């Protein structure tokens, strides 16, 4: 069997690749990796993965390639040009998009790549949820969309990084992730707003959130982010600006399905505004600071 490729070794991709590489040990297959900076792959290579100096070189060795990069333009940069995946494909290749992008963009990309490669490259979408903690632990929820025949050999590979679930045709994974992102964005904003109100009312935010975690307000997000909110720690784990595209993807799908939205528009505007204010490269918890500043501005008026 051909090797498995993985491109994009950032906060999420690095741990995922590590788990997948370990799962391939003894199978006769290797994990072939590529990312913008070769030094990011040093630990993986030392553990048995194989470095490839371009996406083209990955495609030359693999029949299954997973990508975890920020957005569709980044995916296109991997597949196009002399050093891109299309140039290196020698037989059937399944491209697994683990990035969070719009459902329609993966459908369009599948058509374009099939045409550019003479039908040899096909796309499966498999965005993930669980954050950096889930990626490190190998417990991600992985939402998979694609043709049954294409998805079948992908699921065992993804299983090394978490729990993959095949939800329907191509784009179904991204629809699921868009729904996930709406729920998460609403939770992040609600927890942030509550933290500002509680602090201004004289409460200890850390103690409050510890208490709330045992009741109906408890959640994975509250457990993961409570300390950050209490300490106002906005060091980046997942950049806030990425939520603009995530919520836009949800809005597009809501419009396509004729669904009214109660929160998506406001949440999208909030993350766009805080990004315009220069906070977009900080962690998603920075919405706490943005809410506090908005409140101060309103009070001044």
The residue ranges of DSSP E strands in the chain, in sequence order, are 3-7, 31-34, 50-51, 62-67, 93-97, 121-125, 128-129, 140-145, 162-168
Mean pLDDT of 91-97: 97
Residue 300 has pLDDT above 50, yes or no: no
| Mean pLDDT, residues 276-295 taken together | 91
Q: How far apart are CA 272 and CA 151, in angstroms?
A: 35
Q: Do domains 3-168 and 175-300 have the same CATH topology?
A: no
Question: Could you tell me the residue ranges of all domains in the chain?
Answer: 3-168, 175-300
Query: Is 225 considered catalytic here?
Result: no
* pTM reported for the whole predicted model: 0.89
What's domain 3-168's architecture? 3-Layer(aba) Sandwich (3.40)
pLDDT over 70 at 149, yes or no = yes
Share of the chain above pLDDT 70, in %: 97
Residues in the chain, overall count: 301
pLDDT digits (tens, 9 = 90+) for 27-64: 999 999 999 999 999 999 999 999 999 999 999 999 99
Give residue 131's pLDDT: 87
| Catalytic residue selected from 177, 225, 232, 245 | 177
CATH of domain 175-300: 1.10.1040.10
């Amino acid at each position: 069997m051909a090797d498995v490729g993985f491109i994009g070794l950032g906060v999420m991709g690095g741990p995922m690749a590590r788990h997948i590489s370990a799962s391939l040990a003894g199978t006769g297959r290797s994990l072939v990796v590529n990312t913008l900076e070769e030094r990011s792959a040093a630990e993986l290579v030392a553990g048995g993965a194989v470095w490839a100096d371009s996406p083209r070189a990955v495609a030359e060795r693999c029949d299954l390639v997973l990508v975890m990069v920020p957005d569709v333009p980044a995916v296109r940069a991997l597949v196009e040009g002399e050093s891109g995946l299309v140039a290196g494909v020698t037989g059937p290749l399944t491209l697994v998009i683990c990035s969070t992008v719009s459902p329609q963009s993966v459908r369009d990309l599948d058509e374009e790549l099939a045409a550019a490669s003479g039908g040899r490259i096909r796309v499966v979408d498999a965005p993930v949820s669980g954050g950096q903690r889930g990626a490190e632990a190998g417990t991600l929820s992985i939402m998979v969309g694609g043709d049954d025949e294409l998805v079948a050999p992908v699921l065992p590979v993804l299983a090394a990084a978490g729990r993959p679930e095949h939800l329907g045709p191509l784009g179904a994974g991204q629809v699921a992730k868009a729904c996930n992102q709406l729920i998460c964005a609403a939770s992040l904003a609600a927890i942030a707003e509550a933290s500002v109100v509680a602090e201004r009312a004289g409460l200890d935010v850390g103690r409050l959130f510890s208490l709330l975690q045992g009741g109906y307000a408890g959640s994975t997000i509250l457990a993961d982010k409570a300390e950050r909110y209490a300490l106002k720690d906005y060091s980046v784990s997942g950049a806030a600006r990425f939520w603009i595209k995530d919520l836009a993807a949800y809005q597009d799908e809501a419009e396509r399905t004729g669904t009214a939205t109660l929160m998506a528009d406001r949440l999208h505007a909030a993350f766009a505004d805080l990004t315009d204010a220069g906070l977009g490269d900080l962690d998603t918890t920075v919405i706490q600071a943005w809410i506090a500043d908005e409140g101060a501005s309103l009070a001044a008026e």
